[in-house]
Amino acid sequence: MSHPTSLHHRGLGPWSWLVLAALAALPPLLAALGLEFYTVVATRVLIFAMAASSLNLILGFGGLVSFGHAAFVGLGAYTVGILADAGVGSAWLAWPAACLVSGLAAALIGWVSLRTRGVYFIMITLAFAQMFYYLMVSLKAYGGDDGLPLPQRSQLGFSLDLKDDAQFYWIALALAALTLAGLQRLLNSPFGWLLQGCRENEVRMHALGAPVRRVQWQAFVLAGAIAGLAGALLANLSGLVTPQLLHWSQSGQLMVMVIIGGAGALWGGALGAAALLLLEELLSTYTIHWQMGLGLLLLFVVLFAPRGLAGVWKRRGHG
Amino acid sequence: MDWILVTEQLLNGLQFGLMLFLLAAGLTLVFGIMDMINLAHGSLYMVGAYLAASVMAASGSFVLAVLAAMAGTALLGMALEWALLRRLYERDHLSQVLATFALILIMNEGVRMLWGEQPLLLNTPAALSGPVELLPGLLYPSYRLLIIGLGLLVALLLWLGVTRTRIGMWVRAGASNRPMAMAMGVDTRRLFTLVFGVGAALCALAGSLLGPLLAVQVGMGESILILAFVVIVIGGIGSIRGALVGALLVGLVDTASRTLLPAALRLLASTEVAANVGPALASILIYLLMAAVLFWKPQGLFPARSG
C-alpha cells in the first residue's frame, strides 16, 4: 500500500495462497464428481495462462506488440519433441533446453525486431514466426505437416508420474504460480519500472539515460523463454507437436487472451487464457457454431470493456 | 532449366502478384489513411469468392458472377465500416486487432452456416478453359492471361483514380496527413466509407478471379491476408505505388522460388532434400525479404506518411 503508483502491481497478497489452495484441490474434486476429463482442460488453461502472461510482459507492460509469440511456444514444444525422439526423456534436461532454445530464438528475433517500431514491429515479429512455422513444416524427419508424436511424457523422477493427469496438473500449477509470482516481483523491481517507463514514453526514458533497447530486449528474451517452457508443457499434454503450434493464428489467439484479460494487468494473461479457453469449451458443448458466439462476445468486450476483464474488476473493486 | 519454364513461371508470378495487389491496395489505403489494422480484409475476399461461386452456379455467367460479387462485397464492406469499424479509428491498434479478429471468427462461421463446410466449386468460364500459344512452344492458360490483363487494367485505373482525380487527391492527402486534410475541408467520414467500399470490391474481384485456381473454402482469407500485409509493409503503408511494387515482388519471389528453387537445389543436393526443403524455403524467402526490407528501410520502400 506504500506505493499508490500505477507502476506497482499488488497482486492478491495473502489471498493468492487461498486461490492456489483452491486450484490445487481441483483434481480430486473433479474426480469425485466424475469429471476427470476437465483436469486436462484445466491443465491446458494453466499452460496458456503462462504463455499469455509471458506475452503480457512485453505487450502489456513493455508496449511491444509482438505478433509472433506462438513461435516461442512452438519452438519449446519441438525441443521437447525432438529430444524425446532422440531418447532424451528427462524433464530436467528437456524443459530447460526448451527454455534455452526459445530464449535464444527470442534473443535473435528481438535484436533485429526492436529496431522497428509500432506497426512495423508487429509485422516483423509475425514474419519471423512464419519463418519458423515453415521451417517446422519442412522438417520431414520430424513429421513435417503432420507433426511429431511424443513417445511418452517427460520423466521427472522423485516418484512423480506425469502420465497421471492430476500430477501433471499440479506440476503445471506449480510452474504457472512460480511464473506469475516471478513476473510480479520483476515488475515491481527497478527493471520492471524501466520497462513500463519505456512503454509510457520511450524518448523521455532515453533522455533520462535508461538503456531502452537493452531493457526491452531482455524482457523479450525472458518472455520467449517462459513461452518455451509453456510449449514444453503443452507438448507433454497433447502428446503431439505440430507446426500448427507456431501458426500465426496461435499468436493471434495469445494476443486475444492478453487483451480480453487486460493488457498491462498482472493477472491479465491468466484471466484471459481462462476466459477464452473455458468459453470455447462451454460454447462448443451447446453449438457447433460456437465461433460465432465467441466472435460476438469479443466484439462486445472491445466495444464496452476496453481495458479487459482485469479493468472491469478494478473498476468494481475501487469504485 | 529452359526458357519456356522460366517464362511460364514469370507469368504466373505476375498473375499472382497482380491479384495480391488487388487485396493490398484496399488494405494499404485503409491502413494508411485511417491508421486502422483490419484483419478482416481477408474475410471480405472470402465472401467475394463465395458470392461469385453462388451467382455462377445460379446464372451460369462468369461476368455476372464477378460483378455481383464485387457489388455485394462492397455493400457489406461499407455496412461494416458504417456500423462498426468507424468506432475503432480512434482506438489503439490492440483494440482494432481484437475487434477485427472477432470479425474473422464471425464471418468464417457465418459463411459456414450459409454455405456449409464443403469447399465450393467455381469453374473457369468455358470459353477460357483452353491454353493459348503465346510464342512458338509456349502454351499458357488463357484464363490466367485474362487475370493478368484485368489486374493490369485495374492497377492502371486505380493509379489514374488516385493520381488524377479529386477524390484521389483527398485520399492521398488523408494518407499523408489526416488532420491537415480534415482542416482543409475534406469530408473524411464519407471518404473513409467510400475507400472501404472500393477496397472491399477489389477484394471480391481478387476472390472471384482466384476462385477457379484456388479452392473456395472457409479460411481462404487468412492465408492470403498475411501475404497482403507483407506486401503493404514492404511497399510502405498507405502507398499505392508501394503496394504494386511490393505485390509484384512478393508474387514473383513466391512463384519463382516455388519452382525454380527446388530445381536449383537439385543441382546442389539430392533430389529428396530438394523436394523436402524447397517449398518451405520458398515460403521462408518471402518473410526473409520482408525482414530484410524492414531492417534496411524500416518504413518500407515507398513511405507515404510525411513526418
Domain residue limits, chain B: 7-218
Cβ atoms A248, A133 nearer than 8 A: yes
Q: Who's near B285: CB < 8 A, 6+ residues apart?
A: B253, B254, B257, B261
In single-letter form, the type of residue at position A198 comes to C
Mean pLDDT for the stretch of residues A211-226:
92
Q: How far away is chain B from the Cα of A67, in angstroms, using its nearest Cα?
A: 10
Domain ranges of chain A: 45-248
B94 vs A: CB within 8 A: yes
In the prediction, which pLDDT does A63 show?
Answer: 85
Look at residue A165 and tell me whether its pLDDT is greater than 60.
yes
Contacts of A127 in chain B (CB under 8 A): 230, 287, 290-291, 294
Look at residue A21 and tell me whether its pLDDT is greater than 60.
yes
Q: Do A291 and B108 touch (CB under 8 A)?
A: yes
For residue A289, the Cα-to-chain-centroid distance in whole angstroms is: 27
Q: Using N-to-C axis directions, what is the helix angle for B220-235 and B240-268, rounded to 10°?
A: 110
Percent of chain A with pLDDT over 90: 24
Residue ranges, chain B, pLDDT below 70: 1, 269-279, 304-307
Q: How far away is chain B from the Cα of A304, in angstroms, using its nearest Cα?
A: 11
Which cell is A310 given?
482485469
Strands, E, within chain B: which ranges?
Answer: 131-135, 138-141
Beta partners for residue B135, in sequence order: B138
Q: Residue holding cell 508443457?
A: A233
Separation of alpha carbons A105 and A71, rounded Å: 9
Containing A218, the helix (H) or strand (E) segment is: helix A212-238
In the prediction, which pLDDT does A96 show?
Answer: 92
In the prediction, which pLDDT does A177 show?
Answer: 92
Q: For residue A117, what is the nearest residue in chain B, using CA coordinates? A: B298
Q: How many CB atoms lie within 10 A of CB A315?
A: 11
Q: Do B298 and A117 touch (CB under 8 A)?
A: yes
Q: What is the mean pLDDT of chain A?
A: 84
Q: How confident is the model at residue A5 (pLDDT cuts 50, 70, 90)?
A: low
Separation of alpha carbons B233 and B120, rounded Å: 32
In the prediction, which pLDDT does A313 show?
Answer: 61
In the prediction, which pLDDT does A153 show?
Answer: 77
Specify the pairing of strand A240-241 against strand A148-149: antiparallel
Cβ atoms A168, A237 nearer than 8 A: yes
Q: Do B105 and A117 touch (CB under 8 A)?
A: no
What pTM value is reported for the model? 0.82
Higher pLDDT, B117 or A106: A106
Mean pLDDT for the stretch of residues A20-29:
81
Q: Do B226 and A289 touch (CB under 8 A)?
A: no
Q: What is the DSSP string of A255-319?
A: HHHHHHH-TTSTTHHHHHHHHHHHHHHHHHHH-TTHHHHHHHHHHHHHHH-TTHHHHHHHHHHH-
Mean pLDDT for the stretch of residues A125-139:
85
**Residue in A227, A172, A305 with CA at minimum distance from that of residue A59:** A227
Beta partners for residue A148, in sequence order: A241
Q: How many CB atoms lie within 10 A of CB A227?
A: 34
Higher pLDDT, A118 or A98: A98
Q: How far away is chain A from the Cα of B280, in angstroms, using its nearest Cα?
A: 5
Torsion B223-B229-B230-B232 (CA) sign: positive
Give residue-wise pLDDT tens across range A281-316. Answer: 888 888 777 778 888 888 888 888 777 777 666 655
Mutation for B interface: A124, A132, A213, A280, most B CBs within 10 A: A124
Q: How far away is chain A from the Cα of B300, in angstroms, using its nearest Cα?
A: 9
Look at residue A30 and tell me whether its pLDDT is greater than 70.
yes
Look at residue A319 and tell me whether its pLDDT is greater than 50.
no
